[in-house]
Chain A
Amino acid sequence: MSLLHLDKATIKFGGLIAVNEVSFEIKPGQLFGLIGPNGAGKTTCFNLITGVYKPTSGSIKFEGREISGTPSNKIAHLGIARTFQNIRLFGALSVLENVVVGGFLRHHTGLGSAIAYLPPAIKETDELKQEAMRLLEVVDLAHVANVRSRDLSYGMQRRLEIARAMATQPKLLLLDEPAAGMNPQEKMDLTGTVRRIRDEHDKTVLLIEHDMRFVMELCENIVVLDHGEEIAQGPPSEIRNDPKVIEAYLGEAV
């Protein structure tokens, strides 16, 4: 069974069709890439999957369950987490706190217990912090755990976004241009991190990326969007030679 299944998902903003009848399926454990030129509708696809927008038509199924129109926070509870293209960290909170927010959706103590500062809430807070520390180690941010997240460097902020999303313990992780603005070395490290997330933490990953080499190297299956339409789908070797894709990326070495 597929983990995520988009079936003719469409969204219109006024007269503009941002995503037009896009369909693809992601199987558990896959590393899936979503590529396309600027304005192709990739991020809009993410927004549809995570409930920021409701599709005008078509369906989005997660583990066989229709999720289009479900609010973002419920989707996070179902097991989809994301990062943002234009980083959206909780700037005034520390790196550790950012990750704890992600883990908080699995809390089981009540607000009353927290307000009264009772042992269950204290214990839970400690557990969440420890868990968050482990995740920070995965993305190599443990040494800055107590720094305010807005004071981090760009590359670190991107990694923190991944850690925060991971903290929700998602089945599907959506990464929106995780390598944007990184230098080649950082990108190399990121490739390793994403692989580790998939292999060691047993996640399915859907990522948007501009850097072809990065995507081709990392992903096992790729969907190509252009002007909101799906123009190709398949493993990197096929995509690389698809004439439509070459046309869409005219001039760019694929």
Chain B
Amino acid sequence: MDLGVSLWAAFELSTLPQQVVNGLLLGAIYALIALGYTMVYGVLRLINFAHGEVFMLGAYTALFASWFLGYGKGSSLETSGPLNLMILLIASMCVCGIVGVAIERFAYRPMRSQPRIAALITAIGVSLLIQYGGALVLPIAPPPSINEKVNPYRGVVTMNLVGGDPQLLEGYEKAKIEFETTEKAWTEARASKQPDDVVRALRDKKNDADRTMGDLQRRMDNSGVKIRIPQGQLIMFGTTIVLMIMLTYLVMFTAVGRAMRAVSHDFDSASLMGINVGKIVTITFLIGSMLAGAGAMMNATFLGTPLTTFFGVMPGVKAFVAAVLGGIGNIPGAVLGGFLMGIAETAVIWAGYGQYKDAIAFIVLIVVLLFRPGGLLGSAKVEKV
């Protein structure tokens, strides 16, 4: 039975570096969201299904903040500056932090002494409630997106890894000079009011030169290996890395982080040792949700994705898979899993199976779990007998 799965793939080796970079950029966002899942799982052993919805609310917060700053539809304002971006980021992180803590306090805390599956159903309920309840009050049709003027960094950074063919380059340089001279001649002829047919002839000449130059430029571009990154995504990546470093510092070198690790290691013993477990859980939700908020704001602003209340579902699921892939409860694991997931997804698109990009996450996961049942960095706990 032919299920219509084509086995032909279109690999273009010269685009490999670009794809790797794309994968890393995508993976950084997954990693950022995955951290929220993994931290909550670490302390509570709960899959926080509502985390994707926190992410969605973060994106909406950024949208509202941008409206508040005057970047609504058909805004006549000039392109904004970095200050506005900071305002959006902080607004998103704060709102997400508050929402995350509220969800924990009112939905998960009462369930703490109950079987885990009951807490999980509550999490699913909260997730559905935010999706559908949000649809009642948030703008969804047509899906709004953040005005692109909010983002002042719309340029593209190009990095040449391997230069183009030197012959092409030489030809291009020549064609460029040719174009410049013909253009100059045409402009002068026009300015000095020469007869129409002369101007027209010069213009045709200039257009020919332009075409040749453009053609050569294209060929030259294709002959080299280069990476193009939109500035916005570069900022996104940088911010993500900075946030991860801050998180690592917090978890590894502060008293709160030590308490967090203790709670994650053994919930009951930690509370017996005088750690205020409730406070640590709150802080965990706060930090995890704030990270999601940062991811959401950057996603909505720099990628300009149209928002609906289901905006968080797919990133949420994939980030969750990333967390499990790395070993859920393990913070470096979530980062590793996120990057792997991003690279796997880009690789699939690159190989020409774009329609399977949502499936690859799970295929990778299943394959990894078959060999390492505890995820990549997690240890499958051997039960003491």
Contacts and interface: CB of A to CB of B under 8 A. Distances in A.
A touches B (Cβ under 8 A): yes
Contacts of B385: 43, 47, 52, 84, 88
Nearest to A176: B385
6 contacts: A43-B385, A47-B385, A52-B385, A84-B385, A86-B384, A88-B385
Contacts of B384: 86
Main secondary structure of the interface of B (DSSP, over half): loop
Contacts of A84: 385
A84 B384 CA distance: 11
A43 B384 CA distance: 10
Interface string A140-152: 0000000000000
A43 B385 CA distance: 8
Interface of B: 384-385
Query: When A and B form their complex, which 6 residue pairs have the shortest distance between CB atoms, in order from nearest?
Result: A52-B385, A47-B385, A84-B385, A43-B385, A86-B384, A88-B385
A143 to B, nearest CB: 30
Nearest to B382: A13
Contacts of A52: 385
B306 to A, nearest CB: 49
A86 B383 CA distance: 12
B64 to A, nearest CB: 49
A43 B383 CA distance: 13
A52 B384 CA distance: 10
Contacts of A47: 385
A211 to B, nearest CB: 21
Nearest to A46: B385
A80 to B, nearest CB: 15
A86 B384 CA distance: 9
A88 B384 CA distance: 11
Interface in A176-234: none
A249 B384 CA distance: 25
Interface in A45-59: 47, 52
Nearest to A84: B385
A34 to B, nearest CB: 15
Interface string A78-96: 0000001010100000000
A47 B382 CA distance: 13
A56 B384 CA distance: 18
Contacts of A86: 384
A177 B262 CA distance: 31
Nearest to B384: A86
Interface in A116-159: none
A67 B63 CA distance: 67
A47 B384 CA distance: 10
A1 B384 CA distance: 33
Nearest to A86: B384
A86 B385 CA distance: 7
